């Protein structure tokens, strides 16, 4: 998780639209989580940013996996969605599941050591089938 800490530019496509977001990540809550503050450079018709998110990622030692709380302006979190990722070197493959345990969204963050960048892939999942939603890369500002 420490490789996420810093100031980043996230660019690529979300829902077939080209985007550029600024991401600031820092350790918070006594070093238990990395908080990512993500904001789009694109503005909507009302002048507000098209996308804003605050994402908390932590390591749950007792479960030996990552946990994630993803809050954004697309809708209010219901509290019924869980998000975990198994431990893997240089990757966090988050699974967002509904209250019944059904996979809804798969988000994989992969660290590229050679150039100190991250690749983000987000897939929407319906009836067990993944459909690409976002393909992004993140480099330091």
CATH code of the domain containing 57: 2.40.128.20
Stated pTM of the model: 0.89
For 15-62, how does the pLDDT look when each residue is reduced to its tens digit (9 = 90+)?
999 999 999 999 999 989 999 999 999 998 999 999 999 999 999 888
Counts for the chain of helices (H) and strands (E), in that order: 0, 10
Range of the domain at 22: 2-140
Contact predicate 137/12, CB 8 Å:
yes
Q: How far is CA 73 from CA 45, 51, 70, 120, 127, in A?
A: 15, 6, 10, 19, 26
Q: pLDDT tens, 77-127?
A: 666 778 888 878 899 999 999 889 999 999 999 999 999 999 999 999 999
Q: Which of 82, 86, 90, 72 is nearest to 1 (CA)?
A: 90
């Amino acid at each position: 998780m420490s490789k996420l800490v810093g100031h980043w530019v996230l660019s690529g496509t979300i829902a077939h639209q080209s985007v550029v977001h600024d991401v600031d990540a820092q350790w918070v809550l006594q070093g238990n989580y990395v908080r990512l503050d993500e904001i789009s450079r694109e503005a909507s018709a009302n002048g507000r940013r098209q996308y804003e998110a605050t994402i908390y990622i932590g390591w749950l030692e007792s479960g030996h996996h990552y946990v994630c709380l993803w809050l954004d302006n697309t809708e209010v979190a219901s509290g019924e969605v869980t998000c975990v990722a198994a431990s893997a070197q240089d990757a966090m493959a988050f699974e967002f599941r509904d209250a019944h345990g059904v996979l809804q969204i798969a988000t994989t963050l992969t660290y590229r050591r050679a150039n100190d960048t991250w690749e983000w892939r987000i897939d929407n999942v319906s009836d067990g089938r993944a459909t690409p939603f976002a393909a992004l890369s993140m480099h330091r500002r």
